[in-house]
Amino acid sequence: VSTDNIEAFQLETISQEYPSFGNTDLRSPAIELEFEDGSTITDLRYDGYKIYETKFPLEGLPSTYVENDKDVETLEIYLKDNLKDIKVILMYSVFENFNAITKAVKIINKSNEDVYILRALSANVDFKQDDFDFIQLSGAWARERYIIRSNLRAGIQSVESRRGASSHAHNPFMALVRKDTTEQNGDVYGFSLVYSGNFLASVEVDMYNKARAQIGINPFDFKWLLKKGEKFQTPEAVLVYSSNGLTGMSQIYHNLYSKRLCKGRYRDRVRPILINNWEATYFDFDEVKIKEIAKEASKLGIELFVLDDGWFGKRNDDTTSLGDWFVNKEKIKGGLGKLSKEINEMGLMFGLWFEPEMVSPNSELYKKHPDWCIHVPGRTRSTGRNQLILDLSRKEVCDYIIKSVSNILESASISYVKWDMNRNMTEVGSAALPPERQRETAHRYMLGLYKILEEITTKFPNILFESCSGGGGRFDPGMLYYMPQTWTSDDTDAIERLKIQFGTSLVYPSISMCCHVSAVPNHQVGRITPLKTRGIVAMAGNFGYELDITKLSQEKKSIVKEQIKLYKEIRKTIQFGDAFRLLSPFESNEVAWMIISKDKYEIVVSYIKQYAQPNTWDKPLKLTALEADAKYKIIGEGSIFGGDELMNIGLVIPK
Ligand code: DGJ
């Protein structure tokens, strides 16, 4: 018998802020708990609120932060299940100047029994209509984050990861947009999750044609034991609304993520132009070869040399040595200290690749600690790229990683780290957790990873960290919190990159997107594109090279030198300006974008035709967001145009 007239209406017909399971709202719940009596019903009632004029960090998890912001307020709404004495805190922070709201949830078990959390999402938004399109960023290795837009329909539509990483397959993001929403106009509701592990982003259209949007940790294979007195903190969701189309949403995420999620010394600094030896040498290098590449790079104006995979243990291919973080003296005879110094003397900073979360079965580490990997006793330990994943739910494993990475970082003059992660989780279980906690492994792994990253990035504040996961398999806001740039994709083909970078830019700023000019024929797709095209495409983000420049002709070297000079002139605008997407590679043969510097004086426009066509003619490209009355001069050419002219007639692109 209801005490509050609840039978007079169905909760299902009205909007819920944080729906729980078991009542008259039969749509997907945001929270589901299991009690000792086997029941899974919670009845959360309002129990007060509090407002703070600041924002607090989330315990153990990355999140957006405040920095002398007077305009960020946090609202905490308290909910309570009276029968079981479970407290739920809904935490909302409003970033007034950035135009975004963050949302996270804390669950506190005040009852006299242990409970299981079966589902605890970070955000739930109930819309009164379903006339939206669903936008997702999906793909695979080497073709990450393609933009897919589809009609919402009755039932559940979702993207998720069950792979133990946010993944190449789907990004922890979705947007709901009106049918007529374009790049520049129309309503957009963006949902992004500050998390790097298994996530769920879903929309349920119910029988009354209302849409329920949810985002959070994936409930699939998740079960968390919350003992009496314990708390559970969900990751943070970042909710954005824009009436200025997809560009409006992207700019909000770009500004917030580059200024209030990324942190550290490099947050506000232009990023160095780097050269990475991976596609130049793969595992086949020695100290002499490395120095030859670095020497040529320094002559051309490159600022940072990155030594990729293969410098440690006995690693001459990918079958061995992950976990053995000591230098391979056969390849680098003088050691890293000497090599890094010599590279510094050439005028370059020195950077190093690691893959610290992994162990090769063929390694010293695995021999010593065969139970340190994620596994289930008696079951196959499936390898991916010949490697297993270390069990970061264990403190001693995290400590080992912190110590072995720190030892190397202290042993040489290292200014940059590329932190890679090259496989997904299988046979998930931890030798250190009791049976009732096995399904906590994947989330505990993330908590362990975040702890490692917090410690290492704090201990080495001057190092620039770049995250990577077989290219862009963990390009997510969780990683960006610790590492302000990400290797966008293992596909370095300029034409393929157009889609990848265009899609990535929906949420992530150019400065976070690392883009390299590589050799032709391209190693992933075999395509030959002009060096000029490769340069223009890579300049859409954080610029670098990844090829053996010692093998380039003098003519090509001077083109590279010019590219580097140009990028140095315009990188402040590219890395810190406001980006506008003009022509989409998903919709046309032509691809264009522009970035306006924050002071509005400089505009960088980029235009690429994907496939050459015969018999074409000069064509205008309409720019946007300029000052109509201002005059704009084309650098290097001298012609002057009015802002109104460029916006209404367009910039003429020579055929
Ligand atoms: C995957 C990365 O994405 C590549 O750039 C390279 O670092 C390799 N791993 C090295 O094994």
Please report the beta strands in 508-596, taking only residues with DSSP state E, as ranges in sequence order: 513-518, 542-546, 578-583, 590-596
Ligand 1 pocket, residue 278 CB under 6 Å: yes
Asked if 421 and 355 count as a contact pair (C-beta separation under 8 A), the reply is yes
Spacing, Cα 309 to ligand 1 middle (Å): 7
Atom of ligand 1 nearest to the CA of 490: 3
For a substitution probing ligand 1, which of 468, 469, 479 has the most ligand atoms within 8 Å of its CB?
468
Q: What percent of the chain has pLDDT over 90?
A: 95
Spacing, Cα 454 to ligand 1 middle (Å): 23
Spacing, Cα 468 to ligand 1 middle (Å): 8
Ligand 1 pocket, residue 81 CB under 6 Å: no
Residues 6+ apart with CB under 8 A from 269: none
Atom of ligand 1 nearest to the CA of 278: 6
For a substitution probing ligand 1, which of 168, 317, 353 has the most ligand atoms within 8 Å of its CB?
353
Amino acid making up residue 119: R
Spacing, Cα 349 to ligand 1 middle (Å): 20
Ligand 1 pocket, residue 549 CB under 6 Å: no
Q: Whose CA is nearest to atom 9 of ligand 1?
A: 470
Average of pLDDT values for 51-68? 97
Q: Tell me what pLDDT residue 168 has.
A: 98
Spacing, Cα 489 to ligand 1 middle (Å): 9
Res 3 pLDDT > 80: no
Ligand 1 pocket, residue 490 CB under 6 Å: yes
Cα distance between residue 570 and residue 270, in whole Å:
10
Does residue 490 have an active-site annotation?
yes
Place of tokens 């407290």: 87
Asked if 393 and 282 count as a contact pair (C-beta separation under 8 A), the reply is no
Ligand 1 pocket, residue 187 CB under 6 Å: no
Spacing, Cα 422 to ligand 1 middle (Å): 8
Ligand 1 pocket, residue 487 CB under 6 Å: yes
Cα distance between residue 288 and residue 263, in whole Å:
36
Q: Tell me what pLDDT residue 385 has.
A: 97
Mean of the per-residue pLDDT values of the chain = 97
Cα distance between residue 150 and residue 301, in whole Å:
45
Q: For the segment 374-433, what is each residue's pLDDT rounded down to a tens digit? A: 999 999 999 999 999 999 999 999 999 999 999 999 999 999 999 999 999 999 999 999
Ligand 1 pocket, residue 422 CB under 6 Å: yes
Is the whole-model pTM more than 0.85? yes
Q: Tokens standing for 598?
A: 């924050």
Place of tokens 């669950």: 107
Spacing, Cα 364 to ligand 1 middle (Å): 22
Q: Give 356's DSSP letter.
A: T
Does residue 309 have an active-site annotation?
no
Q: Tell me what pLDDT residue 227 has.
A: 98
Q: Tell me what pLDDT residue 6 has.
A: 52
Q: Whose CA is nearest to atom 2 of ligand 1?
A: 470
Ligand 1 pocket, residue 420 CB under 6 Å: yes
Ligand 1 pocket, residue 144 CB under 6 Å: no
Asked if 277 and 296 count as a contact pair (C-beta separation under 8 A), the reply is no
Residues 6+ apart with CB under 8 A from 510: 254, 540, 541, 542, 574, 575, 579, 595
Q: Whose CA is nearest to atom 11 of ligand 1?
A: 309
Ligand 1 pocket, residue 353 CB under 6 Å: yes
Q: Tell me what pLDDT residue 1 has.
A: 39
Spacing, Cα 252 to ligand 1 middle (Å): 31
Q: Single out the catalytic residue among 420, 476, 493, 548.
A: 420
Ligand 1 pocket, residue 468 CB under 6 Å: yes
Band the pLDDT of 248: cuts 50, 70, 90: very high
Ligand 1 pocket, residue 352 CB under 6 Å: no
Average of pLDDT values for 515-538? 98
Please give the C-alpha separations between residue 244 and each of 44, 186, 187, 582, 651, in angstroms, as whole numbers. 36, 6, 7, 14, 23
Q: Whose CA is nearest to atom 10 of ligand 1?
A: 309
Res 4 pLDDT > 60: no
The values of phi and psi at residue 613, to 5°, are: -125, 145
Spacing, Cα 469 to ligand 1 middle (Å): 8
Atom of ligand 1 nearest to the CA of 469: 3
Spacing, Cα 418 to ligand 1 middle (Å): 9
Q: Give 406's DSSP letter.
A: H
For a substitution probing ligand 1, which of 422, 469, 497, 523 has the most ligand atoms within 8 Å of its CB?
422
Ligand 1 pocket, residue 311 CB under 6 Å: no
Average of pLDDT values for 444-473? 98
Ligand 1 pocket, residue 493 CB under 6 Å: no
Q: For the segment 148-207, what is each residue's pLDDT rounded down to a tens digit? A: 999 999 999 999 999 999 999 999 999 999 999 999 999 999 999 999 999 999 999 999
Ligand 1 pocket, residue 238 CB under 6 Å: no
Cα distance between residue 564 and residue 602, in whole Å:
18
- First CA to last CA across the chain, in angstroms? 76
Band the pLDDT of 62: cuts 50, 70, 90: very high
Number of H helices, E strands in the chain: 12, 33
Q: Tokens standing for 331?
A: 């390849």
Compute the Cα dihedral for 638, 641, 652, 605 and give only its sign. Answer: positive
Q: Which of 397, 380, 384, 381 is nearest to 432 (CA)?
A: 397
Task: Find the helix packing angle between 335-345 and 395-411, rounded to 10°.
Answer: 50
Band the pLDDT of 307: cuts 50, 70, 90: very high
Res 7 pLDDT > 90: no
Q: Tell me what pLDDT residue 374 has.
A: 98
Q: For the segment 260-297, what is each residue's pLDDT rounded down to a tens digit? A: 999 999 999 999 999 999 999 999 999 999 999 999 99
CA 17 to chain centre: 27
Spacing, Cα 124 to ligand 1 middle (Å): 37
Res 143 pLDDT > 60: yes
Q: Tell me what pLDDT residue 655 has.
A: 79
For a substitution probing ligand 1, which of 144, 307, 319, 420 has the most ligand atoms within 8 Å of its CB?
420
Spacing, Cα 278 to ligand 1 middle (Å): 7
Please give the C-alpha separations between residue 188 and each of 242, 416, 459, in angstroms, as whole numbers. 5, 37, 40
Cα distance between residue 39 and residue 17, in whole Å:
23
Task: Find the helix packing angle between 287-300 and 554-576, rounded to 10°.
Answer: 70
Res 463 pLDDT > 60: yes
Amino acid making up residue 244: N
Q: Tell me what pLDDT residue 637 has.
A: 87
For a substitution probing ligand 1, which of 321, 487, 493, 515 has the most ligand atoms within 8 Å of its CB?
487
Spacing, Cα 274 to ligand 1 middle (Å): 15
**HEC states along 48-106?**
EEEEECCCCCCCCCCCCCCCCCCCEEEEEEEEEECCCCEEEEEEEEEECCCCEEEEEEE
Q: Single out the catalytic residue among 69, 391, 476, 490.
A: 490
